[in-house]
Structure 1
Amino acid sequence: MTWNVRRLPRADGRTFLVTGGNTGIGYFVVEQLASTGATVVLASRDATRAAAAMAAVRARVPGARVRHLRMDLADLASLESTVDELDRLDAVVCNAGVYLDEPARRETADGNELMFATNHLGHFVLVRWLAPLLEDGGRVVTTGSFVARSARLDLEDLQSTADYEPDRAYARSKLAQMLFAVELDRRLRAAGGTVVSVVNHPGGALDSLTPSRPPVHVRTTGQRLRGLPAGLVLQGKQAGAWPAVRAVLDPSLRGGELCGPRVFGMRGAPRVEPVRGQLADTGLAAGLWTATAELTGVEPRFTARRR
């Protein structure tokens, strides 16, 4: 089918959960999904920022059905009770991602490296507890990053205790997210259920190319002008949201497919990209799944159910 990012299909009556939906690409995923008539649940730790994001969405989308769910992905033990506030769900967008540029390695209260815990472990545990809500034909949409292409995972040291460096640790966490998504698809297929797991990445998305959404994001004239040259190869965060939105709404996308920007994987309308390289390494993905289940003490499981 021809996909038009500016003419999205209606999704009235459906409910979507977006982690990290109060800022950045996640905000635009929420805004665009809200424009379809769906109910969008914005999951984030900060209620004040969530309120500001919801106000910005309502200013752009009159009558938008948006609400906040307080969620801390770094606190793995809290996620089971967090999802008790949801009574239905058609898709979850595993979008939230934290990047720390500090040279010192930081850990959660559980002793996990903070970026790996938030970006990968938290979403793995979240999907475990969302499984009963998604089993009747739902979607798990996982947002990775093109920086994952340069990452290498050591299954014996997933949390970078031996060679921590912020950029490298972040890239590893995003690669882990994407590998989780493709392995989840394999397991869903084996179980014979109706849940679909789709991967996406936003390409190169810059604040200087992102339109203002006060008070969530305000772009000055100077920033806009300075960002114009980069616009030849990169894009704003509103465009970075397009692959995730298509992954939620496009019924033609199959489980295990990867959706990214059309132009060199960096900008443009979303298209299906080949799954290759490390993402096609089934042994690595299965090993990561096993290691993650051991670290978290849980494992996403879906029963086979047909509509």
Structure 2
Amino acid sequence: MSNWDVHHLPRASGKTFLVTGGNAGIGYFVAEQLAGSGATVLLGSRNAAKADAAMSSIRSRVPDASLGHLPLDLSDLPSIKSSVDTLGIDRLDAVVCNAGVLLEGRPRQETAEGLELTFATNHLGHFVLVHQLMPLLETAEAGRVVTTGSFVGKSAELDLDDLQSERDYQPKRTYARSKLAQMLFAFELDRRLRAAGSTVLSLVDHPGGALDSLTPPRPVHAAPSGRTFPARLLLQGKEAGAWPAVRAVLDPSVRGGEMFGPRVFGLRGEPRREPVRGKLADTALAARLWAASAELTP
């Protein structure tokens, strides 16, 4: 792997990237950093006002940023194809599947199609989106699908007989399972792309421990508050949490099926390649999840 400097990114002028959830949180910082590379960055967001605020914030730091908004509601699976149809581009160099929800402290909810909301948004929405974007990604010289997983997803247990968490719904556990599903999908996707001889690569990133209190202030993000010194020793802010995704998009030396996370215990620091092992390397589980996802989606 090449040496990587998060503060001196390779230029990506002429390329087009889509970041889901690019209007807030880690997705915002992914979009901001990619915009600084000279690429055109599209923010996938269901809220136009929030997307406009995020684009204004990015332009305040990257005055020549080339930005756009893709109206996108990942919880509304039937709407995703029509959203992609409005893109109006002939190729897409990368999509960062970053958007997600955690319904902490709230009861189990379902989408209009009767799917559990967290799993539908975080995993199934991206499953459908990537399939719809594949023709545009195949047109690029070397398209990339970068899926943002989670440290908590590594330790989750996926119950293929209860993907909708109907029997034992707990918000944090359901979230962790959805992130595990995203990562398994990304690795299975790359295996299928390699088998098909595709030039598109599928990679996984995770942000480690990214806290609001350690995040640099932006107009779309409140200034840090409270004591941060103890947390700063082990964790990091969302700006740094974006680094693994940005590396997966821009580093010319990456290979399909790789995973990137923070250097220090997988929790903080500059991005590095991590080994893919345990349940993340379970090809049978990933194939069964793929089949189940295909049955649940339009």
TM-score band (shorter)? over 0.9
**Cα shift readout 1:124-156 (whole Å, capped 9, x = no counterpart):** 000111011001321000000000022101111
Tell me by how many angstroms 1:95 deviates: 0.3
**Cα shift readout 1:73-99 (whole Å, capped 9, x = no counterpart):** 000000111011221210000000111
Pair 1:149-2:150 in alignment? no
Tell me by how many angstroms 1:102 deviates: 2.8
Tell me by how many angstroms 1:227 deviates: 1.4
Match of 1:305 in 2: none
Tell me by how many angstroms 1:111 deviates: 0.5
Matches within 5 A, 1:72-91: 72-86=73-87, 87=89, 88-91=91-94
Matches within 5 A, 1:59-78: 59-78=60-79
Secondary structure of the 1:133 match is: helix
Amino acid paired to 1:166: P
Amino acid paired to 1:199: V
Of 134, 138, 142, which residue of structure 1 is paired with 2:143?
138
The alignment's C-alpha RMSD in Å is 0.8
Which whole-Å CA distance do the structure 1 matches of 2:198 and 2:72 have between them?
27
Contact 1:94-1:141 within 8 A present in 2 as well: yes
Match of 2:233 in 1: 232
Of 175, 187, 195, which residue of structure 1 is paired with 2:192?
187
Of 195, 198, 206, which residue of structure 1 is paired with 2:203?
198
**Cα shift readout 1:208-239 (whole Å, capped 9, x = no counterpart):** 0000001x01214x43xx11210000000000
Tell me by how many angstroms 1:242 deviates: 0.1
Which whole-Å CA distance do the structure 1 matches of 2:3 and 2:164 have between them?
41
Matches within 5 A, 1:239-278: 239-278=240-279
Match of 2:281 in 1: 280
Contact 1:262-1:269 within 8 A present in 2 as well: yes
Which whole-Å CA distance do the structure 2 matches of 1:193 and 1:100 have between them?
37
Of 219, 224, 231, which residue of structure 1 is paired with 2:223?
219
- If the length of structure 2 is used for normalisation, what is the TM-score? 0.97
Runs of 4+ in 1 over 4 A off after TM superposition: none
Tell me by how many angstroms 1:103 deviates: 4.1
Aligned residues: 293
Which whole-Å CA distance do the structure 2 matches of 1:207 and 1:275 have between them?
28
Which whole-Å CA distance do the structure 2 matches of 1:169 and 1:37 have between them?
37
Match of 1:129 in 2: 132
Tell me by how many angstroms 1:197 deviates: 0.2
Which whole-Å CA distance do the structure 1 matches of 2:7 and 2:258 have between them?
22
Amino acid paired to 2:196: A
Of all paired residues, the percent bearing the same amino acid is: 71
Contact 1:209-1:228 within 8 A present in 2 as well: no
Tell me by how many angstroms 1:104 deviates: 1.3
Contact 1:14-1:89 within 8 A present in 2 as well: yes
Which whole-Å CA distance do the structure 2 matches of 1:150 and 1:138 have between them?
30
Contact 1:206-1:235 within 8 A present in 2 as well: yes
Amino acid paired to 2:222: V
Secondary structure of the 2:125 match is: helix
Amino acid paired to 1:217: H
Any unmatched runs of 5+ in structure 2?
Answer: none
Amino acid paired to 1:100: L
Which whole-Å CA distance do the structure 1 matches of 2:210 and 2:282 have between them?
27
Which whole-Å CA distance do the structure 1 matches of 2:155 and 2:165 have between them?
15
Which whole-Å CA distance do the structure 2 matches of 1:155 and 1:218 have between them?
39
Of 111, 114, 117, which residue of structure 2 is paired with 1:108?
111
Which whole-Å CA distance do the structure 1 matches of 2:59 and 2:269 have between them?
26
Which whole-Å CA distance do the structure 1 matches of 2:84 and 2:184 have between them?
24
Secondary structure of the 1:135 match is: helix
Which whole-Å CA distance do the structure 2 matches of 1:15 and 1:233 have between them?
34
Amino acid paired to 1:263: V
